[in-house]
């Protein structure tokens, strides 16, 4: 958990420190899957390395920070999902970000939906396939 918190704080600090990346006007009201895919398609951050504040790095950190925030909000408000589906040993920030990145790449037809809902959908499909149809029915 400490590593998760440190990674989250580090990602948010990096995003705040770099102001060269702008959010598209279309995303001002709702962040959709296309916006999140643009952030996430940059690929994963290399582990254990120092990052330079480039637009690509900020996009990668934005992807991770948004994904972690949406995932934590969803799991904090839905303890049934946590107890039934998530592994006891926990999930790393990189793991959930990779799951979301793959989901967005594999399902372009879903990207018009809200980004936070897509994070939840990716987590459900990744960790609890038995609930996938129920989630799909809610969309």
Nearest alpha carbon to residue 119 among 60, 71, 65: 71
**What is the rounded radius of gyration, in angstroms, for the C-alpha atoms of the chain?**
15
Give the residue numbers spanning the domain of 120: 2-138
- Please calculate the CA angle 72-113-107 and round it to the nearest 5 degrees: 90
> Residue 10's pLDDT is what?
41
pLDDT at 113: 93
- According to the model, what pLDDT value does residue 79 have? 65
Angle of helix 93-106 relative to helix 2-17, nearest 10 degrees?
Answer: 60
Residue 75 has what pLDDT?
81
**CA–CA separation, 33 and 31 (whole Å):** 7
pTM of the model: 0.68
pLDDT at residue 104 in the model: 95
Block means of pLDDT (10 residues each) for the chain, length 139 residues?
43 36 48 88 69 78 91 80 75 91 94 92 84 61
pLDDT recorded at residue 91: 86
Q: How far apart are CA 96 and CA 126, in angstroms?
A: 9
Domain count, the chain: 1
């Amino acid at each position: 958990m400490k590593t998760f918190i440190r990674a989250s704080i580090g990602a948010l600090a990096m995003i705040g420190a770099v102001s060269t990346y702008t959010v598209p006007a279309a995303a001002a009201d709702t962040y959709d899957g296309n916006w999140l895919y643009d952030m996430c398609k940059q690929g994963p951050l290399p582990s254990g390395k120092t990052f330079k504040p480039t637009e690509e790095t900020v996009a990668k950190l934005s992807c991770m920070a948004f994904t972690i925030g949406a995932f934590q909000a969803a799991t904090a408000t839905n303890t049934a999902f946590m107890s039934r589906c998530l592994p006891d040993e926990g999930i790393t920030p990189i793991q959930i970000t990779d799951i979301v990145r793959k989901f967005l790449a594999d399902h372009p037809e879903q990207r018009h939906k809200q980004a936070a809902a897509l994070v939840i959908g990716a987590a459900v499909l990744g960790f609890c396939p038995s609930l996938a149809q129920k989630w799909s029915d809610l969309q």
